[in-house]
Structure 1
């Protein structure tokens, strides 16, 4: 732990040196430069100190999220400046080497002077993530978007043509700090008037008690004609803190499972149920968390026991890596999988229908929106809440409305 903090400190110190190089090419007043250095030092010490105070028996708190937000707001812009100036230093070193060794101009300075416009460019580029991260903390994290997605299935039972499903995921109630905004989001959920609502896991960050202040609010999610169902996410198992005893961990896990019932959702634990409409039915399958790099409690075979390939199946599985690694290859043909988990990293660029990018795509093949392989679909919800970084930039919190359509999709 100490070695890790030391290495982080060294990297941050190098970043600070480069950032100061950019600042001092534009600011000439000595008192302003000294003030900048003092403020940077104080923030640097505060961030390092805050991380040393992290208590793994408690887990994430509002204080740790504040520290993470501060770290990103301060150092991502400075990293941008560092990259720009480091690139210039590579150029300066190459130019100096050519000038000194090839042109034999030993009288000139080995390194050309740093150019003011490069520092200005670095500062200008750094302003983009700085302002974006600030916006993400104060506005973006509650900027809910309702995303509607129609999905076509040739073998959808006739009675379910036009059937609508609202999906929410990754609530992370322990991160909330604005009751008015959460109440507004619940109003958005209810306004969709879907036939059924599905919740694909992560009701808390770690502890069941995180949800207690929000139970009444989430109980305002109205009854849906064809039910309210849920599954567990990786955070619901309490894996990311150190527990005093195994009994404490188990009691917390039981309490978290009970939370879903307390807000009116039926929790499916490696099992399935049938949704009946008219003379037709579809199978709703729910597995516990299964992640390539996370807890693998999901048992697809158990959950789908006695179901056939011909049964129309909707699967709830929190982590989309389950679909990528297992579900899409399963011989029982799961028509539609609903997942969450990635949050789209809560940071990216998205122009709906045209372009989306996030660091999440380098970790997960399916990270936001709809994906298809041989008639099998997975939809990855971008998440209702937020975790670690207390904000969202570009990838906004999502309420999904999926409409099932019978037939082939028109080109």
Structure 2
């Protein structure tokens, strides 16, 4: 009985530290290392993803063209033009035929988007130009952001479309206003287009794809989700953005006609200035017929 009671005696402080101290320090060190990695390293470890994008009604003149998509820069949230400079060099190094920007150039509260003009101007979409829509964070300085993009030779689409023409064949690019705070109108954006036309839709928030499939749209390109920013094995994204909860990362085939939807993880961050198992992304699409 005495021996049993001795086993139940509480550990002294010294004995406790000896028994559990190394474990505690190990957990603390792991947390610090993970935090430093997520804030200092992975946020700037850009991943270039190569996607072979099959489009059923792609005009033959655009076979093999390269589209580069970037999204969600969020300038002003622990991310500046000096950081963004490396991204523009990476994009130009990919020799894009077309460049898509799918919204959120700035973080809410950044009222000086003009600082990005020289870098945005440096981007080269040699054959098909540069195209953009705004995002929910851009909406508070919408006119400024649009002016910055237009000054940088981006065609900003706001419930509208235009086209690229090669050998009398056309690829249409449509774009809508921000879904969260604006007045998006897909019907107006694709007005006059039919199922015979090849139409690419730029829409900041991806979950609108369930509505997009009702219109003559060949593929949708979105951002907004950040891929969740923090992704855990066997669980997935931690930060689930409104209007990006169904479609959060990568390539989807939506609806009966399996419309391609691509959700880019973005460049910057929001809410938390960290990324874990969710690197910032630049996407290269190699266009081909099929699907």
Which band: TM-score by shorter chain? 0.7 to 0.9
SS of residue in 2 equivalent to 1:173: coil
Structure 1 length normalisation: TM-score?
Answer: 0.61
* 1:237-295 Cα distance to aligned partner (Å, 9 max, x none): 12xxxxxxxxxxxxx432222111122211111000111122311211110111xxx32
Structure 1: gaps spanning 5 or more residues = 1-22, 29-115, 239-251
Distance 1:127 1:208, change over 3 A: closer
Distance 1:155 1:306, change over 3 A: same
Alignment of 1:301-316 (within 5 A): 301-316=187-202
How far apart are residue 357 of structure 1 and its match? 2.4
Tell me the equivalent position of 2:283: 400
Of 25, 28, 40, the residue aligned with 1:138 is 40
* 1:52-74 Cα distance to aligned partner (Å, 9 max, x none): xxxxxxxxxxxxxxxxxxxxxxx
* 1:72-94 Cα distance to aligned partner (Å, 9 max, x none): xxxxxxxxxxxxxxxxxxxxxxx
CA distance in 2, matches of 1:228, 1:127: 45
Tell me the equivalent position of 1:345: 228
| Number of residue equivalences | 275
SS of residue in 2 equivalent to 1:193: coil
CA distance in 1, matches of 2:15, 2:246: 43
1:183 maps onto 2:85 in alignment: yes
CA distance in 1, matches of 2:263, 2:151: 25
Of 3, 14, 17, the residue aligned with 1:27 is 17
Between 1 and 2, higher relative CO (CA 8 Å, sep ≥ 6) is seen in 2
Tell me the equivalent position of 2:212: 327
1:259 maps onto 2:148 in alignment: yes
Tell me the equivalent position of 1:366: 247
Of 149, 158, 166, the residue aligned with 1:269 is 158
Say if 2:161 and 2:190, in contact at 8 Å, map to a contact too.
yes
Greater Rg by CA: 1
CA distance in 2, matches of 1:399, 1:24: 53
How far apart are residue 316 of structure 1 and its match? 0.1
1:389 maps onto 2:291 in alignment: no
Structure 2: gaps spanning 5 or more residues = 1-12
Would you tell me which structure has more helix in proportion to its own residues? 1
Of 94, 117, 135, the residue aligned with 1:233 is 135
Distance 1:147 1:407, change over 3 A: same
Distance 1:311 1:390, change over 3 A: same
Structure 2 length normalisation: TM-score?
Answer: 0.85
Distance 1:218 1:27, change over 3 A: farther
SS of residue in 2 equivalent to 1:228: strand
Tell me the equivalent position of 1:224: 126
Tell me the equivalent position of 2:65: 163
SS of residue in 2 equivalent to 1:266: strand
Would you tell me which structure has more strand in proportion to its own residues? 2
Alignment of 1:101-180 (within 5 A): 128-177=30-79, 179-180=81-82
Say if 2:44 and 2:280, in contact at 8 Å, map to a contact too.
yes
CA distance in 2, matches of 1:311, 1:255: 33
Say if 1:172 and 1:387, in contact at 8 Å, map to a contact too.
yes
How far apart are residue 123 of structure 1 and its match? 6.6
CA RMSD of aligned residues (A): 2.7
1:289 maps onto 2:178 in alignment: yes
